[in-house]
């Protein structure tokens, strides 16, 4: 499926899955990676968020200070489905890798937008 050169470069040989292990010279440390080789990359065409508008309260209870945004990508069979959450102003809200949005300071701003790693599709939600 995959060949590895002396300097660690991977080269696809045919479609399928393979596991690559790297060991230290002493054999005490090891790292593994799973590699999937596909014939063609199926790009994401659309990303939708679970909410278009969100209201968060800085001084409120836990459930009022934070919410979870979930992303839905289409097509479902896209090769790379990972999403990255980003915030335009980190002083106002923060967002985790899993989409947990927490209020920090009161102000009207745009909330995180999603960027697809393959396809660079964006979707945004507004903080009211």
If one compares 115 and 49, the residue with the highest pLDDT of the two is: 49
Which residues, other chains included, contact 106 with Cβ-Cβ below 8 Å and sequence gap of 6+? 58
DSSP single-letter state for residue 40:
S
Give me the chain's average pLDDT, please.
Answer: 81
If one compares 115 and 6, the residue with the highest pLDDT of the two is: 6
Q: pLDDT of 56-73, one tens digit each?
A: 888 777 778 889 999 999
Q: Alpha-carbon distance 94 to 89, whole Å?
A: 8
Does the pLDDT of residue 42 top 70, yes or no? yes
Q: Alpha-carbon distance 75 to 42, whole Å?
A: 8
The half-sphere exposure of 91 on its side-chain side, counting CA atoms within 13 A, is: 3
As a whole number, mean pLDDT of residues 5-16 equals 88
């Amino acid at each position: 499926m995959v060949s590895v050169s002396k300097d660690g470069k991977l080269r696809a040989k045919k479609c399928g899955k393979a596991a690559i292990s790297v060991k230290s010279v002493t054999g005490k440390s090891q790292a593994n990676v799973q590699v999937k080789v596909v014939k063609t990359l199926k790009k994401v065409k659309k990303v939708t968020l679970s909410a278009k508008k969100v209201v968060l309260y800085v001084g409120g209870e836990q459930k009022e200070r934070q919410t979870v945004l979930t992303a839905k990508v289409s097509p479902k069979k896209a090769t790379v489905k990972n999403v990255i959450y980003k915030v335009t102003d980190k002083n106002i809200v923060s967002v985790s890798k899993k989409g947990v949005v927490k209020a920090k300071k009161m102000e009207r701003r745009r909330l995180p937008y999603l960027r697809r790693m393959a396809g660079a599709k964006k979707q945004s939600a507004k903080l009211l």
